């Protein structure tokens, strides 16, 4: 059974800001290779870290919302851990998307 997830990835694009689009496209294809169906990709631009925890002081944030099997999260996590362009990653399971009923219109007098 596929669950709905959100993945926040911080990309190491230091010195390669012009290639961020290609990095995001490659990561999107890697999600699809693991059987994930991507709903949304939010490019949240480059942000400074509140404190430097290593060689980087800023990263390019990208948020993926997707549907995938639970075991594919572990595969994605280990695959992106070896990727030098992914600096940090965080996955969170989301609630299922529910359809909202249509609002009733007030009757005109």
Enter the pTM of the model: 0.81
Task: Please tell me the distance from the alpha carbon of residue 109 to that of residue 106, in angstroms, as a whole number.
Answer: 9
CB atoms under 10 Å from CB of 72, counted, come to: 19
Query: Per CATH, which fold does 3-91 belong to?
Result: Alpha-Beta Plaits (3.30.70)
What residue segments make up the domains of the chain, in order of their start? 3-91
Predicted confidence (pLDDT) per residue in 5-58, tens digit: 999 999 997 877 788 999 999 999 999 999 999 999 999 989 988 887 778 889
The residues with which 96 forms a beta bridge, in sequence order, are: none
Task: Please tell me the distance from the alpha carbon of residue 84 to that of residue 48, in angstroms, as a whole number.
Answer: 19
């Amino acid at each position: 059974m596929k669950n709905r997830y959100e993945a926040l990835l911080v990309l190491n694009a230091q010195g390669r800001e012009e290639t961020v689009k290609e990095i995001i496209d490659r990561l999107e294809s890697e999600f699809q290779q693991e059987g994930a169906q991507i709903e949304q990709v939010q490019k949240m631009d480059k942000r400074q870290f509140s404190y430097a925890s290593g060689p980087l002081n800023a990263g390019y944030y990208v948020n993926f919302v997707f549907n995938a099997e639970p075991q594919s999260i572990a595969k994605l996590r280990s695959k992106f851990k070896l990727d030098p362009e992914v600096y940090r990653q965080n996955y969170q399971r989301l609630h299922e998307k529910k359809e909202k009923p249509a609002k009733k219109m007030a009757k005109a007098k």
